[in-house]
Chain A
């Protein structure tokens, strides 16, 4: 049986520090858009999740 976390935010990746507050989820800060995309891709591959875009400069990795 699969007991991994699912339907859950595994990581938040952003350059805009003022838009994210601490919570239960790790936040990764990036210096620009390119770095943000790279970190998201790596995290998605490592965590087995997929990258979603909130369209306000925040990416999140979520497992479905």
Chain B
């Protein structure tokens, strides 16, 4: 096909739609602001252009242009740094922090999404080049669906069983079921916790999941997600009601405690189930021979 304009246009359009669909800005996903979204849509447009131009450049053939495209793709490494820096700066003024593992995960996802956009644009413009623009309308939805499927990771609900835990005191020790959370001194704080505190038990299904829940980064992610939806009664200089996740050291499950603004236990369990499993803390012991042997 000689009409390079049309080839590039469908590639860019497919890539931009893909980036827009990948731009999730629900309760826990950054960006949540119109400006943050604009930044990413603009970058998505650049990524889509890169992918779309590649095929006509080879077809022409203009190999110098292709070399420049490869150089331009390097720019997307910066996206990860940009996201990491922004989120780290925001972290300093948060009452309940996200944790570095979560930030690293988010930053990596942002970088990866741009590569997926390049791939979609490349496939679409390739199809348009080889088989005409009509083919591009078939290939682009398929590749967009594929990228959406690729980018959905697993959730805590997939690797662990989440159920209600009983908040109670043994002397001055706050417990959720049989897990010690912390020592609480003041009687009025204990009463408040007994009245309003919520506890859940997060029980891993296998050894991989146990290692995953062990990681403090994963626990921080759980706490952050819950607090960002249900709220917490922590204030500056009043950290007594800090939400915490502690592990049962013998059995390996987690107990999670929170005094929330919206004390809804069912929703709490659902939110915990929907927390993403972080890439950097994922346990892989069952993939190794010795890990499998030790597990049985």
Listed in ascending order, the chain A residues whose CB lies under 8 Å from chain B are: 37, 40-41, 44-45, 48-55, 59-60, 64
How large, as a class, is the contact surface on chain B? 10 to 19
Within B47-77, the residues touching A (CB, 8 Å) are none
Please report whether the interface of chain B is mostly helix, strand, loop or mixed according to DSSP: loop
**Cα(A45)–Cα(B186), bound, Å:** 12
Closest B residue by C-beta to A33: B187
Within B234-252, the residues touching A (CB, 8 Å) are 236-240, 242
Q: Are B238 and A51 in contact (CB under 8 A)?
A: no
Of A37, A44, A60, the contact of B240 (CB 8 Å cutoff): A44
Listed in ascending order, the chain B residues whose CB lies under 8 Å from chain A are: 171-172, 183-189, 236-240, 242
**Cα(A41)–Cα(B188), bound, Å:** 10
Of B185, B187, B237, B239, the contact of A52 (CB 8 Å cutoff): B185
**Cα(A18)–Cα(B258), bound, Å:** 37
Q: Are B237 and A53 in contact (CB under 8 A)?
A: no
**Cα(A59)–Cα(B185), bound, Å:** 7
Q: Are A51 and B186 in contact (CB under 8 A)?
A: yes
> Shortest Cβ distance from B165 into chain A, in angstroms?
22
Q: Are A45 and B238 in contact (CB under 8 A)?
A: yes
